[in-house]
Structure 1
Amino acid sequence: MSRLPLSFGCGQLHLAATLDTAPGTTGLLIVSGGNEIRSGAFSGQAQLAARIARAGFPVFRFDRRGVGDSEGENRGFRHSAKDIAAAIEAFRAITPQVTRVVAFGNCDAASALMLSGGEGLSGLVLSNPWTIDHEAGGENADAALPPAAIRARYLEKLANPREVARLLGGRVNMGKLARGLVRSVTPAAAHSDLAQEMRAGLAAFTGDVRILLATADRTAQVFEAAWDASDPRIHRCEGAGHAYVEPEHRDWLQAQILVALRS
């Protein structure tokens, strides 16, 4: 295995990429989420690419337009279909033995793959897809969460002696707590337009799909509230956070990706 830095064209722009070589005829395309560069947070995606390549599958990752080392304007995940299509073309060109490309994306990278309908791909591994139309922050952070997720959050806090001590010691914002309790028993809001668009995009895809959900992740909880929880394509990693940082969760993620590549 070797690691090759390279660039490829997306229209008139040049995008930066990295290829981890391997002899396999199925390759993995890693699509970065948010404004994350292709190495991932704390090099997580670079490490994942190396492990997958050692298992025999070439891995291609890239910076979309306006992110990291790539040229152009960053227009967000909703406008990344051209970046993904150009990356697939470049991946196939530099690895002529590859006959199948499976894409992996976490958070809004998964959403981008769904919105694009998986065009040009044989399989999709969609982790913690982002379904919130507008990101909530500050005291409104709970507004985007489904009631079940809010209840689970408060139950977790009540099981933590430190949180109970904060409550009894008057160090909890009672107004915020009251609003959260009201939200926890309020019927869930209608599904977002983004979730509906993602559902329509995925319905057009005929390849293999695996939907991975980290059960301790709020983004995954919001997605599950907007989706059919009995969907047989869903696989849950109990206790995992958004980035699968714990060794056992990281191993689980790698195993799920390898299943998709070998199918």
Structure 2
Amino acid sequence: MSRLHLTFECREQRCGATLDSAPGTTGLLIVSGGNEIRAGAFNGQSQLAAEIARAGFSVFRFDRRGIGDSEGINRGFRRSGRDIAAALLAFRAIAPQVQRVVAFGNCDAASALMLAGGAECDALVLSNPWTIDESEDSTPPPAAIRSRYAQKLKNPQELARLLSGGVDLKKLSRG
């Protein structure tokens, strides 16, 4: 197993991605949820990718446009179908031995995959998909926001990001 950091194009913008390569003909496309970078919360998706690659399956993770190492504007999970499609094309190009792609999404990433009609993947693993209100206001309830920030304050990397100016304080105050 080896890990390759790469970029691919989506609508003339560069997106950051990671491939954990393996010899198997089935691969996993991990779609990150929310504003989460491809490493996942507490590096969980990175660890998961390494474990799956050790089992013989290539894993492709990516940052949607406007998130993490990707250029552009974050258009949210409802409008991420093109990002997922571009990631799938990049995965198939960089790992030609992969003939079957299973996409995994949690929470809003699961909903993004459903909204994209499966994004031309061969199979889906959907965990805890979000239901979608007709309202355009996608602000989570206050209890959910407090819980998220409480978890972040327990993470030394997130504290360092806050202290180094890597956190949008206007956005934080709205939350």
Scaled by the length of structure 1, the TM-score of the pair is 0.52
Q: Deviations over 1:65-99 (max 9, x none)?
A: 00000000001000000000000000000011111
CA distance in 2, matches of 1:111, 1:53: 25
- 1:38-187 equivalent positions in 2, closer than 5 A: 38-133=38-133, 134-138=138-142
Q: Deviations over 1:206-260 (max 9, x none)?
A: xxxxxxxxxxxxxxxxxxxxxxxxxxxxxxxxxxxxxxxxxxxxxxxxxxxxxxx
CA distance in 2, matches of 1:30, 1:41: 13
List structure 1 runs of 4+ shifted beyond 3 angstroms. none
What fraction of aligned residue pairs are identical, expressed as a percent?
74
- How well do the aligned residues superpose, as a CA RMSD in angstroms? 1.2
CA distance in 2, matches of 1:72, 1:37: 14
Partner SS state of residue 102, structure 1: strand
> How far is 1:132 from its partner?
4.2
Partner SS state of residue 37, structure 1: coil
Verify the 8 A CA contact 2:30 2:59 in the aligned structure 1: yes
CA distance in 2, matches of 1:132, 1:73: 22
Partner SS state of residue 98, structure 2: coil
Scaled by the length of structure 2, the TM-score of the pair is 0.77
Match of 2:9 in 1: 9
Matched residue type, 1:137: P
| Structure of higher CA gyration radius | 1
> How far is 1:136 from its partner?
4.0
CA distance in 1, matches of 2:33, 2:106: 6
Q: Deviations over 1:163-184 (max 9, x none)?
A: xxxxxxxxxxxxxxxxxxxxxx
Q: Deviations over 1:111-132 (max 9, x none)?
A: 0000000132100000000114
Residues 38/136 of structure 1: CA separation in 2 closer, same or farther (3 Å cut): closer
Runs of 5+ unmatched residues, structure 2: 145-175
